[in-house]
Homo-oligomer: A and B are copies of this chain.
Amino acid sequence: MIRVTLWNEFAQEIGVLPRELTPELNDEEYAHMEAFTKSRIEKIKEVYPKGLMGTLAEALAADEELEITQTTLFDKDFGLSDELLAKTDVLVWWSHILQNAVPDELAFKIVERVQKGMGFVPLHSAHKSKPFLYLLGTSGCLKWREDEFCRVWTVDPSHPIAKGIPEFFELENEEMYGEPFDIPKPDDNIFISWYRGGELFRSGCTWTRGYGRIFYFQPGHETSPNLHNPYVQQIIRQGIHWTAPRTWREKLDCPNILTPPEAKYLS
C-alpha cells in the first residue's frame, strides 16, 4: 500500500487570494492578481468542478495499491501537518499563484522527508514551488503561453513511467512551457512536449535526492482539461508507483566512526 498525499493549492478553484499569504506583492500587484483570480473562477469550475486534485483523486481511486489523502493550502498547517507528512509515502504537489505562501519551514521538512525516502511528484506550475526549487537547486525558469496544442513524445519508452504510453499523445489545449527549462541534468528524461506554436519542453523528468525519487510532469494547467486525459492520469499514476519509497533512511546524521572497520584486523 502506497500512502499518497495530493496537496493542492486550491486558490484558483475557489477564487481566493488571501492578502496575508502574498506579502511579496505590492498593493497594485495584489489587486491585479486578485482580479485575475476572480476572473477565472467560472472557467476553472467548468473544467475542474471537483478541483484539480479532486479529478486526479478520482482517477487514482481504482488503483488498489494507493491510499489517497487530499489536502490543500487552506487546511490546517498549510495542508501538511507533521503527522500527515510522516504518513506520506508519495507527495503529489500542485501549486501556482501562492507558491510563496508555503513557509520555508514546511518546504524544508518536505525536502528532508524526500531525502529520507518519500517520493515527490510536482505537477505543472509546481516548477516554481519551494519544495521543487529547494530539492533541485535551480531556478525552474521557463517560457510560457496559454492555450497551445501540445503533443507529448515518449523519448524513453522502456522507462516504467512510460509503460503502455504510445509514442506520442496529443493535448488539444495545454499551457505551453518552453525551453530553456532551468533544471539540473535529469536522471531520466522520459517525455518531451512539442507545441504547435513552435516551442518544445522536457516535460517528464526524474531526479534522485537522498533516498527519495522525484518525477516532474508538465501537463495540468488549471484552465486546460488535461488531468481528465487518460494518458496523463496513467503517467501520474505510474510516476507515483515509480517514486514510491524503496528504503527509508531513519536519520540524516553524520556519525563519527571512532573505530575504523580495519581496527579488528590490527592487534
Query: Measuring CB to CB, which residues of chain A are less than 8 angstroms from any residue of chain B?
Result: 104, 111-112, 115, 117, 128, 134-139, 141-145, 148-149, 151, 153-160, 163, 167-168, 170, 176, 178-182, 184-185, 187-189, 192, 194-200, 202, 207-212, 246-247, 249, 252-258, 260-263, 265
Contact = CB atoms under 8 A, between A and B. Distances in A.
Nearest to A194: B200
A179 to B, nearest CB: 5
A131 to B, nearest CB: 10
Given A117-B158, A135-B137, A138-B209, 5 more contacts: A158-B211, A158-B247, A185-B188, A192-B192, A199-B260
Contacts of A142: 254
Contact of A197 (B168, B187, B209, B260): B260
A257 B144 contact: yes
Given A158-B211, A199-B153, A258 B180 contact: no
Contacts of A170: 261
Given A247-B158, A257-B145, A200 B153 contact: yes
A261 B200 CA distance: 11
A48 to B, nearest CB: 23
Most chain B beta carbons < 10 A, residue from A111, A198, A207, A247:
A198
Contacts of A159: 246
Top 5 nearest A-B pairs (CB, nearest first) are: A197-B260, A198-B261, A158-B211, A198-B262, A135-B137
B210 A182 contact: yes
Contacts of A246: 158-160, 163
A194 B199 contact: yes
A261 B151 contact: yes
